[in-house]
Amino acid sequence: MTGKRIGKHIGSSFDDFLKEEGIHEEAVENTARQILAWQIREQMIAQGISKVDMAKRMETSRAQLDHLLDPEDGDVNLRTVQRAAAAVGKKLRVELV
């Protein structure tokens, strides 16, 4: 590990650690999925939207909504997330950095 001086501490960043372990991409993807699921759940709670109502707004099944709200489910596609965002009056923004 190459050391970088950060304040008075020497060490690598957490990103560097994840890359060295070969799990950086997976960790970033999992984190993004967890954040999206959390944000959608929070909007549902804030707006008093039940799962049944949310599924109706998204024109999908409750089972599909459960997949979306499960941060461990890796099979959720962007179109589903876009429909969920629209259902709570939000827009999904994806950008390359």
67: domain CATH number? 1.10.260
pLDDT at 12: 73
pLDDT digits (tens, 9 = 90+) for 13-62: 887 888 888 888 887 888 888 899 999 999 999 999 999 999 999 999 99
pLDDT at 25: 81
**Is residue 95 a part of any domain in this protein?**
no
**Is residue 54 a part of any domain in this protein?**
yes
- Tell whether the model's pLDDT for residue 6 goes beyond 80: no
- Tell whether the model's pLDDT for residue 71 goes beyond 90: no
- Tell whether the model's pLDDT for residue 73 goes beyond 80: no
Domain count, the chain: 1
pLDDT at 84: 95
**Is residue 11 a part of any domain in this protein?**
no
**Is residue 73 a part of any domain in this protein?**
yes
**Is residue 60 a part of any domain in this protein?**
yes
Domain that holds residue 50: 28-87
Q: Report how far residue 89's alpha carbon sits from residue 82's, in angstroms, rounded to the nearest whole number.
A: 10
**Is residue 83 a part of any domain in this protein?**
yes
- Nearest 5°: CA angle at 51, between 60 and 81? 50
Q: Report how far residue 36's alpha carbon sits from residue 7's, in angstroms, rounded to the nearest whole number.
A: 33
Show Cβ contacts of residue 1 under 8 Å, excluding neighbours closer than 6 positions.
11, 12, 16, 17, 20
